[in-house]
Amino acid sequence: MPEVVSNNQRIAKNTLYIYIRTIVVLIVALYTSRIVLEVLGAKNYGIYTVVGGIIALMGFFQAAQSKATSRFITYELGQNGITASLSKVFSASLTIHILTAAIAVVLCETIGIWIIYNWIKIPPERQTAALIVYQFSILVFCIHLIRIPYDSVVIAHEEMSVFAYFSIIEAVLQLGFVFIIKYVKADSLVLYAGLMALSALILLLLYYFYVRNKYPIYSFKFTWDKKISRGMVSFSGWTLLGSGSNALTQQGISLLMNNYVGLLANAAIGLCNQVNVAVSKFVSGFNTAFTPQVIKLYAQDNYSELNLLISRSSKFSFALCYIMVLPLLCNMDFILEIWLGDDVPEYTAGFCRMVLICTLFDATTGVYNTAVTATGRIRNYQILISLSFLLDLLLSFAMLYKGIEPVLVFSSRILTRGILNMVIGLYFINRYMGFDISGYIHNVLLKILSVIAVTGLPSYMIYCNTSGISRFLSTSVYAVISTMVFVLYFLMSKEERIAVLTKIERKFAR
């Protein structure tokens, strides 16, 4: 029991670090996006989004390797502690990342270049700038790929304060570089891409020197340990299928929008992604806090605590996300006007609302993926998830081809990435660790739906009967207060509520 309490306290403490980090990064990122749009203009921003998106298409390498590295390092740490085997796992993972970066460069310089010349509509006078931006984007991608093992070490050791500090440094660096663009006479689009590459390089060096000094056991030797490397490559291969399908779908929809709607739709998607990333960082931050514990509990065969942690993580992730999403849904037009002024591209508000609904599903079900990943048995899970992603792309193409309103195209994402992926995830965690689905539906999902009903409907009524700043204040205040009350007294169990209230009382007492 003391160990369980210690683990819960560690998760709570790490969540606090991540939450503070995310708030700071969110504020800086949103302000940075406004300055970027102002400096670059809608068309240049659209070019940056769609050209950089080609690299996002290759980003499935990064996502696949990140999951594999994090899982293997954390599992080894949870099962055997700090031993020499950790050095072997780290060296094998970094070797694989370096080789993957080399393969990615070849693909980007061949297939990626072909896509730019044959698929993307870029004004002739901006072709050269677009190609330079593309090269910087490749560099950023490779730097991020090589940084993954160092990120994984920090997270596996649950040093979320370090993770938070470095993230804040990165956000401030990017903001500072954006201000430089305003006062330097050069092609703003090319200069922006170059400075983002410099920011990525600085963060890689920070992680590298921190890990080398704090954990000397993670010394790198370019090697190929057959057993470890084969296990990681096999794991990465199946993760690659899911990540690749996800990247293909995301960029495929962006290219379809470019062809059927126009370049301004890509600018709207870019801004929509900024909002989504900002909100998702809160969720992913909480996921980062509990992920090491999920993997370590599985490595220790502690299924009862693991199943309890899955349910709690699902509830708390939803609550953290919903308390931000509900006010945003009610006030998206007003917020975009304040954020971007009069330069809001068409469709932006609608895209943002639809994607934020998807983010609620991701928040609730993100722990499913973590639990399945902990088992290492991911082949069938990744196949089904990949099919759901491709179904999203197929439905989006059909709707755009039929001339459906572009905003409604994102409804396919809610159906596939939301509802369908939830069913797939529940099936596999039940199969692999005996997760109680009926209890989870009764104690978590039905309560979540009830919270949405009792807070969402009144918020909508307030929205319909107010406007401007009064709408923003009234819906935001009601949404936040009502959500906190219903989460605390309805969604949480009695034990969870007592623990939270006791924690708050102690904080105020101090």
Cα separation, 286 vs 155, whole angstroms: 12
**C-alpha distance from residue 45 to each of 41, 96, 172 (Å):** 6, 34, 20
Name the token pair of 104.
């990615």
Furthest CA-CA distance within the chain: 67
The torsion angle over the Cα atoms of residues 247, 250, 251 and 253, rounded to 10 degrees, is: 150
**C-alpha distance from residue 62 to each of 11, 274, 425 (Å):** 26, 19, 22
3-state secondary structure of 314: helix
- Residue 167 CA to chain centroid, in angstroms? 14
User: Do the Cβ atoms of 347 and 257 come closer than 8 Å?
Assistant: no
Residue-level pLDDT, tens digit, the chain, 510 residues: 444 445 555 666 666 666 677 677 767 766 776 677 776 776 777 777 777 666 665 656 666 677 778 888 888 777 766 666 778 888 888 888 888 888 888 888 888 788 777 777 777 777 788 888 888 888 888 998 899 889 888 888 878 778 778 888 888 888 888 788 877 777 777 888 888 889 889 999 999 999 888 888 888 877 777 777 777 778 777 877 877 787 778 778 878 887 777 766 777 777 777 777 767 766 676 677 778 888 888 888 888 888 888 998 888 888 888 888 888 888 888 888 887 777 777 788 888 888 888 888 888 888 888 899 888 888 899 899 999 989 999 998 898 888 888 888 888 888 998 899 999 999 999 998 888 999 999 989 999 999 999 898 888 888 888 877 888 888 888 888 888 888 888 888 777 777 777 766 665 665
Cα separation, 130 vs 192, whole angstroms: 12
Tell me 510's DSSP state.
-
Of 214, 153, 199, 157, nearest in space to 28 by CA: 199
Terminal Cα-to-Cα distance of the chain (whole angstroms): 26
Instruction: Count Cα neighbours of 121 within 13 Å in the Cβ-side half-sphere.
Output: 14
Cα separation, 272 vs 23, whole angstroms: 18
Cα separation, 354 vs 347, whole angstroms: 11
Cα separation, 316 vs 278, whole angstroms: 18
Tell me 347's DSSP state.
T
